[in-house]
Amino acid sequence: MKQFEKESLGLFPTPMYRLPNLSRELGTNVWIKRDDLCGVALGGNKVRKLEYLLRDAKNRGYDLVMTTGQAQSNHAMLTAACALRMGMDCILVLKERGVTARKGNQILNHLMGVEVRFMDTDSYEEIYREMDRIGEELGRKVYKIPCGGSNALGSLGYIDCMKEVADSGIRFDHLVCACGSGGTAAGCVLGAKLHLPDTKVLCSMVDDDAFDVIVPRLMREAAELLDISVEIPEPDLMEMWGEGYSIPSKEGNEAIEMMLRLEGIVLDPCYTGKAFAGLVRRARAGCYRADDNVLFVHTGGAGGLFAQDWEV
Ligand SMILES: Cc1ncc(COP(=O)(O)O)c(C=O)c1O
């Protein structure tokens, strides 16, 4: 397998442990992988991807990075935090969608002093063109990181995560993660195929993009990058959660309360609350046996919790 250089930005391996109160409540062994505790800003899944992406940017001689997402993008905030740590400049060209006010992740972007430009568009193509235009205007080369850091190189971060889980020696029957732009799901499913072949992976989709196409494509591209010949697996289950991106759901919000009250762990309304709701629903529907080990990958996102008014 080909190796790719990565920058050491996070504290890895992240903690992983059994949640006793939730296990009792749900009648199965619920475990958590705390990628929210990975040590940069409010933590989260993007750091694993950025370790590869920003090292690649540096190696190719870039010192200006741009990325995109919606106004409260955790990915954009973490890209800024990681790029600044590496002494690179960062401009966020965000969709003028979601909470643009100085709340949640926008507070952190402001505190970092990173330049944020909003575009009133739903087209990422238009945003990438605007990044090129800004680069030309500044007379600088721009390293463009796609929305969510979800390309083949970024996905390698979650193959690493699955290796970390496998190295614990604990057998997991099921693993649950949130899916927003696809890179985490692609890394988890391909990584599980390589390192955790007995684990079923459930990807909880928080958006209605064509993930049935996007996730396998990312897996194929990641396998090509690694130069491994592997049959591209299907995710065991992909479920859509809630009414759409960034629209909190009742079950998601109840899952957030349950996790906080029973285990003192903060989830978020956009991604991890909905993903954990998927685990709760399946546990209550009897999909997990009492002696199963079910791993929830906590992908972060706490900033988003403080961006919106809380109504359940
Ligand atoms: C907190 C959080 N969890 C999960 C995801 C989903 O990850 P991905 O974009 O790789 O699908 C994201 C980003 O989109 C996120 O910010």
Q: Which residue among 67, 74, 153, 239 has the greatest number of ligand 1 atoms within 8 angstroms of its CB, and so is best to mutate?
A: 74
Say if 157 falls within a structural domain. Answer: yes
Do 165 and 280 belong to one domain? yes
Give me ligand 1 centre to Cα 145, in Å: 14
If asked whether residues 91 and 129 sit together in one domain, one would say yes
In this structure, the residues whose C-beta lies within 6 A of any atom of ligand 1 are: 44-45, 74-75, 148, 150, 178-185, 268, 271-272, 299-301
Give residue 179 CA to ligand 1 midpoint distance, Å: 6
Asked which of 149, 181, 208 is the last residue of a domain, the reply is: 149
What's the number of domains the chain is made of? 2
Q: Which residues contact 228 (CB under 8 A, 6 or more apart)?
A: 1, 194
Q: Which of 127, 149, 171 is the last residue of a domain?
A: 149
122/245 same-domain check: no
Residue 138 placed within a domain: yes
Residues 229 and 90 in one domain: no
- C-alpha atoms less than 13 angstroms from C-alpha of 19 in its C-beta half-sphere: 25
Domain match, 255 and 299 both: yes
**Domain limit, last residue, from 123, 149, 175:** 149
d(CA 182, CA 188): 10
**Structural domain that includes position 103:** 46-149
Count Cα atoms within 13 angstroms, Cβ side, for 204: 28
Domain identity same for 237 and 171: yes
In a domain, 94, yes or no: yes
* Residue 64 near residue 140, CB atoms below 8 Å: yes
Query: Does residue 82 sit in the same domain as residue 107?
Result: yes
CATH number of the domain to which 282 belongs: 3.40.50.1100
Is 11 inside a domain boundary?
Answer: no
Domain assignment present for residue 51? The answer is: yes
Task: State both tokens at 197.
Answer: 């072949």
Query: What is the b/e burial string over 271-299, where b = at least 16 CB atoms within 10 angstroms of the residue's CB?
Result: bbbbbbbbbbebbeeebbeeebbbbbbbb
Is 311 within a domain? Answer: no
Instruction: Tell me which residue has its CA closest to atom 14 in ligand 1.
Output: 180
Q: Whose CA is nearest to atom 9 of ligand 1?
A: 181
pTM over 0.75: yes
User: Tens of pLDDT along the chain (312 residues)?
Assistant: 899 999 999 999 999 999 999 999 999 999 999 999 999 999 999 999 999 999 999 999 999 999 999 999 999 999 999 999 999 999 999 999 999 999 999 999 999 999 999 999 999 999 999 999 999 999 999 999 999 999 999 999 999 999 999 999 999 999 999 999 999 999 999 999 999 999 999 999 888 888 989 999 999 999 999 999 999 987 777 787 777 888 888 999 999 999 999 999 999 999 999 999 999 999 999 999 999 999 999 999 999 999 988 765
Rounded to 5°, angle at Cα 237 from 310 and 304: 20
State whether 140 and 195 are in the same domain: no
Active site residues: 73
- Asked if residue 32 belongs to a domain, the reply is yes
Question: In 3D, which of 77, 94, 78, 87 has the Cα closest to residue 57?
Answer: 87
Asked whether residue 291 is assigned to any structural domain, the reply reads yes
- Shared domain for 212 and 296, answered yes or no, is yes
Neighbours of 52 (CB within 10 A): 23
Backbone angle region of 286, left / alpha / beta, with phi > 0 → left and psi within -120 to 50 → alpha: left
Task: Note whether 196 and 294 are same-domain residues.
Answer: yes
For residue 169, the 8-state DSSP code is T
On whether both 176 and 248 belong to a single domain, the answer is: yes
How far apart are the C-alpha atoms of 14 and 112, rounded to whole Å? 25
**Residue 137 Cα to ligand 1 middle (Å):** 31
Name the closest-CA residue to atom 12, ligand 1: 180
Residues 126 and 157 in one domain: no
Q: Is 17 helix (H, G, I), strand (E, B) or coil?
A: strand
